[in-house]
Amino acid sequence: MSLTLTPLPGLPLIRPGDPLADILVTGLTAARIELQDGDILVLAQKIVSKAEGRLVNLATIEPSARARELAQSSGKDPRLTELILRESNAVLRVRPGSLIVEHHLGFVCASAGIDHSNVRGEGGNPDDWVLLLPEDPDRSAAQVRAALEQASGKRLGVMVIDSHGRAWRLGTVGTAIGLSGLPGLVDERGWQDLFGYHLKITVVGVADELAAAASLVMGQAAEATPAVHVRGFPYPLRDGSLKEILRPKEEDMFR
């Protein structure tokens, strides 16, 4: 088995309304990649959010009393805490410098995934611009996939990823927040190991494994490689979604 991840070079800075699929096709051509059945495109959340116009200027935000209270506890800008509240189902933990929430999409993350790095809007104070996660990353992935499949005539997968921390380890890792055309999980219960033992509990988070690998190729700072082509994914493609990855609350040992 060989798994190949290739960053798409020379992609422009994405602006609201940009045709993301067309830009990816240009990037694939520049990388001399001709799509094949089973290929996957992994996209950084930022380019999806930017194309979908998820930029917000904090100068336009009026913080609520609850936001001001959380800002005082966390040390964050109260306008930012207001946005975090708007993007969240619940606030789970508050510490100086950290606000952990359950996002509207269902997963637990810091600051509702709202980010300032590599974000720049039009006008105003550059430090006031932030970027929200896509409203529906599964839908975003499906739209890009449909356009790429129409252009190529191939069966593809598309995944949107973001960098998340973890409750039990230090450091952020690439994590799937939206997918289309590929599995989130592969259930290997019943498979045999080398000695004929039948696996009983092994369910592999293949989307997150691939997200972490792609994140290594993308980088986190000024690398300017927010899209990665993947060939050799070792599992059959199928329809998948973020929902299948999320642990039910009754099974969550950290809440």
Give the CATH number of the domain where residue 183 resides: 3.30.1330.100
Question: Is the residue at 207 inside a domain?
Answer: yes
Instruction: Indicate the length of the chain as a whole number.
Output: 255
Whether 116 and 162 map to the same domain: the answer is: no
Question: Is the residue at 141 inside a domain?
Answer: no
pLDDT higher than threshold 80 for residue 118:
no
Read off the pTM. 0.93
Whether 121 and 77 map to the same domain: the answer is: yes
Q: What tens digit of pLDDT does each residue of 187-219 get?
A: 888 888 888 888 898 889 999 999 999 999 998
Whether 70 and 189 map to the same domain: the answer is: no
Contact 112/122 with Cβ under 8 angstroms? Answer: no
Whether 240 and 162 map to the same domain: the answer is: yes
Question: Is the residue at 59 inside a domain?
Answer: yes
Question: Is the residue at 170 inside a domain?
Answer: yes
Question: Is the residue at 252 inside a domain?
Answer: no
Provide the domain limits for residue 59. Answer: 55-131
Angle, CA 126 vertex, CA 125 and CA 132 arms, to 5°: 115
- Beta strand extents in the chain (DSSP E only): 4-7, 40-44, 55-57, 88-95, 98-103, 108-110, 129-131, 157-166, 169-180, 186-187, 203-204, 227-231
Question: Is the residue at 76 inside a domain?
Answer: yes
Whether 33 and 68 map to the same domain: the answer is: no
Q: What tens digit of pLDDT does each residue of 145-195 get?
A: 999 999 999 999 999 999 999 888 999 999 999 999 999 999 888 888 888
SS3 per-residue string spanning 161-209: EEEEEECCEEEEEEEEEEEECCCCCEECCCCECCCCCECCCCEECHHHH
Domains contained in the chain, number:
2
